[in-house]
Structure 1
Amino acid sequence: MSLPVLFGANVDPVWADPGQPLRVARQVEEAGLDLVTVQDHPYQSAFYDAWTLISYLVGATRKVTFVPTVANLPLRPPAMLAKSAASLDVLAPGRIQLGLGTGAFWDAIAAMGGPRREAKDAVTALDEAVEITRQMWSGERSVRFKGEHYSVSGVHPGPTPAPGLGIWLGAYGPRMLALTGRKADGWIPSYGFLGLDRLPDAVARIDAAARDTGRDPSSLRKVYNLNGMIGPVESAEPFQGNVLQWTDLIVGLVREVGMNGFVYWPDADHLRQLTLFALQVVPAVRAELAD
């Protein structure tokens, strides 16, 4: 089952100019893109709370889907996070996907009262969070789960979201990639952390884990966060050149690597860059893929 290729843009959750996130989100929607991503770093003083902002933006737009990239699990207990996502899915059907990760910036997390975890424990905690989230979305009358890091004991879950609400993991290491293939609905890595040279191997690991558990790898959403700049001329650097170079790169990533979603994070000049991406790069990619 092949998924349609989706396109989106990042909206920084900054509050220095209170209306900026909404202006950008509306521009993304009006330009016909599919996704808006929002960083979740609650300890960052320059940022709004991501879930509060996403809820506000959902109510102020009409059709674009929002994805936290990625929800900060150490500061958001999974049962509550699952309930938040399910609630938003019921209130605004099809407008949310749950991006989820292990956490990072452990000093800042600890300063805000969260746990400090070693890499192995962080992956185990995420695995448990996925299990709890699935149970909280199950529609069952009562659910229980006992893990090393998280537990629920006879909680009554609700509301029940639509089947389209998925879990997209920000995954890079071998254990995380395997977890994505086994249990997640999607994958949302970033170019800045996973370059073009390492991307095919990561996709292969996810696909192998999916096949090992009887899942169809092509049914998984694979979204690449692209940081860069669209310029007037060719560049030797990926995602720094002109529209034609961007188009060729993205088409290659779909056809040769298996990616099926792309979210643009401009390095600067955000509104103009997003316009170039939405009105020039995306139509060119769609036209190439339609051939």
Structure 2
Amino acid sequence: MTDYGHELRFGTFLTPTNQAPERVVALTQLTEQVGLDLATFQDHPYQSAFLDTWTLLSYLAARTERISLAGNVLNLPLRQPAVLARSAASLDLLSGGRIELGLGAGAFWDGIEAMGGRRLTPGQGVTALAEAIEIIRGIWDADERRALRVEGRHHRVAGAKRGPAPAHDIGIWLGAYKPRMLRLVGRMADGWLPSASYLSDLGDLARGNAVIDEAAAGAGRSPDAIRRLLNINGVFARSNNGFLNGPVEQWVEELAELALDDGVSVFVLGADHPETIQRFGEEVAPAVRELVAAERSRPRPPEGPGAALVMDVPAAAEEAEHVPAAAPAQDRYERLGVFPTPDDGTRLSPRSGELWDESTRPTLPDRPGPEGGYDDTGRALGQHLVDVHDHLREELARLRDLVDRVRAGALSAGDARSAINQMTLRQNDWTLGAYCASYCRVVTQHHTLEDSSIFPHLRAQEKELEPVIDRLTEEHHAIHRVLDDVDRALVAFINRSDDFAPLQEAVDVLTDVLLSHLSYEERELVEPLARYGFYAGQVGSPRRR
């Protein structure tokens, strides 16, 4: 148990869609009105459906009075660090000290390259981020008279003038999950900003804190100097249906536990629904503050900062029984060298939660790699699933673009429907059958396999895969129904072109459920496919644990 003692803050994670720019402005102002402390926005400069995040932050700074504003997180590969440093300091001065700086090493590299950025490996991304932080802090150090020089591998400044200094000490928060990034948080950052949906389980918070704390101590820093933030998603419901899916009282208890046990002091809710934001600000946040304050007022053991709160003996015994002994699930991908695409938690429609409950998804436990490790064929199998899914993600972006063009009057609904029906998304074999057929065309030139071949094979290899496969199959059927909803909405729009809302809603639901599903499928199946292949004999004899 670790409570770093920071004052609690609560905020929102809003979608910067450009289809209704006034909506994101209104939701930001609502964030302020209901007493929340922070409004944040994802930053994908290559995403044509989004407003530019830095422009949005600047506009919102003039339309709000109290709350802090931040990117969550800014796309550093497309934002030059010296210029970003001056932009952040300037906006902080203009807003009266209300800007924070969330940074990421980069993701979605196809989009970054398409916008002129340079693709980096994970290791290069960490190095580039460290260099950027050094430059940003150097620009802000306006009291230093010497010109700033940083000769980095990826970022450099050669005699840059320093300043301006921001109005307050801007926090640099890093979105981080893997060990190298976590160690960078400990050495150089002011905060750790993961998303709960990216974590294999909430135990990853404790494991991440341990890595950060060790790196901080090694750099001569106090672990208490580093804030722990968390992006969350949730649903208000009458009964407990899983983590943050239940009544207000459940939310309060679960968030207070994260504050007291894992040191989380900033909770950022991904929500674009006014009622959800209002309840989070007016009901949840004050109650969590009150509960945490009451617990913090209890006597602490004498070990010093960061010590756990005193618990009664039965509670302590129960806590000890549930300490996970396994290595973090992320280790399986480090060992494999193939990394699933995480779900960033963004949801465009409250209806998407009606399709399925993500908290009930079965998941595989972490385990050691196969004896002898993974071979090149296995790694290629795992990576190919990610690659095929990336193609589906690109098609989804194209689908949304077609619908945007329909809305703007640049394309007829009939033409859009025809184009969408030609996409892989609309074919019956876009799931693992398409994955295998595609892989076999590229690699072996003569195999044609369908879902019915892969799933029975994986079931036969590992009993624990059965509930995962059952759930994936259910989600496949649900997604096809959502695709049919999009088609029906297009037909309805042809007959009544004055009401675009049902079509937009259908596309938003598809975006939510498809991106969530693809991330889940990669998370659970990348490693088993690399271990066992997708049919008996495909990679020699099945590789056992």
Deviations 1:96-119 (A, max 9, x none): 011011010000110111111111
- Decide whether the 8 Å contact of 1:230 with 1:277 is kept in 2: no
> In the alignment, does 2:193 pair up with 1:188?
yes
Amino acid of the residue matched to residue 222 of structure 1?
Answer: R
Give 1:137-286 correspondences, 5 Å limit: 137-139=140-142, 140-141=144-145, 142-194=147-199, 195-235=201-241, 237-266=242-271, 270-286=273-289
Contact persistence 1:12–1:38 (CA under 8 A): yes
C-alpha separation in 2, matches of 1:92 and 1:135 = 22
Tell me the distance in 1 between the aligned counterparts of 2:81 and 2:40: 20
Shift of 1:290: 2.1
Tell me, in whole angstroms, the C-alpha distance in 1 between the residues paired with 2:187 and 2:25: 36
Q: Which of 90, 95, 98 is the matching residue for 1:87? A: 90
Residue 57 (structure 1) aligned with residue 89 (structure 2) = no
Aligned counterpart in structure 2 of residue 119 of structure 1, from 106, 119, 122 = 122
**Offset from partner CA, 1:172-221 (integer Å, 9 cap, x none):** 11010010011001111101112313111011111121122221212212
Please tell me whether the aligned partners of residues 221 and 260 of structure 1 are also in contact (alpha carbons under 8 angstroms): yes
Cα deviation code 1:141-195 (max 9, x no counterpart)? 3110001001000011221113421211111110100100110011111011123
Larger Rg belongs to: 2
2:48 to 31, 45, 54: 45
Q: Which one scores higher on RCO, CA 8 angstroms, separation ≥ 6?
A: 1
Which residue number corresponds to residue 289 of structure 1?
292
Larger relative strand fraction:
1
Structure 2 segments unaligned to the other structure (5+ residues): 295-545
The question of whether the paired residues in 2 share the 8 Å contact of 1:3 and 1:219 is answered with: no
- Number of residue-to-residue matches in the alignment: 288
Deviates more, 1:47-56 or 1:222-231: 222-231
Identity rate, percent: 47
Secondary structure class of the residue paired with 1:8? strand
TM-score normalised to structure 2 length: 0.52
Further displaced range: 280-289 or 107-116: 280-289
CA offsets, 1:65-122, max 9 Å, x none? 0110111011011111111111111111221011011010000110111111111111
2:19 to 13, 16, 23: 16
| Equivalences for residues 101-116 of structure 1 within 5 A | 101-116=104-119
Q: Which has the higher helix share?
A: 2
Equivalent pair of 2:92/2:168 in contact (CA under 8 Å): no
Tell me how far 1:277 sits from its aligned partner. 0.9
Moved more, 206-215 or 51-60: 206-215
Give the distance between the partners of 2:258 and 2:66, measured in 1 at CA: 26
Separation (CA, whole Å) in 2 of partners of 1:11 and 1:86:
23
Instruction: Please tell me whether the aligned partners of residues 9 and 265 of structure 1 are also in contact (alpha carbons under 8 angstroms).
Output: yes
Query: For the residues of structure 2 that align with 1:232 and 1:145, how far apart are their CA atoms?
Result: 55
Give the secondary-structure state (helix, strand or coil) at the position aligned to 1:86. Answer: helix
Q: Partners of 2:96 and 2:221 in 1: how far apart?
A: 25
Output the amino acid matched with 1:229.
V
Tell me, in whole angstroms, the C-alpha distance in 2 between the residues paired with 1:95 and 1:216.
25
Which one is further off, 155-164 or 223-232? 155-164
Task: Give 1:228 shift.
Answer: 2.0
2:537 matched to which residue of 1? none
Runs of 4+ displaced beyond 4 Å: none
- Across the aligned residues of Structure 1 and Structure 2, the Cα RMSD in angstroms comes to 1.2
The partner residue of 1:35 within 35, 38, 62 is 38
Distance in 2 (alpha carbons) for counterparts of 1:172 and 1:8: 21
| Paired residue secondary structure (1:66) | strand
**For residues 168 and 34 of structure 2, what CA distance do their matches in structure 1 show?**
27
Distance 2:167 2:209 in 1: 27
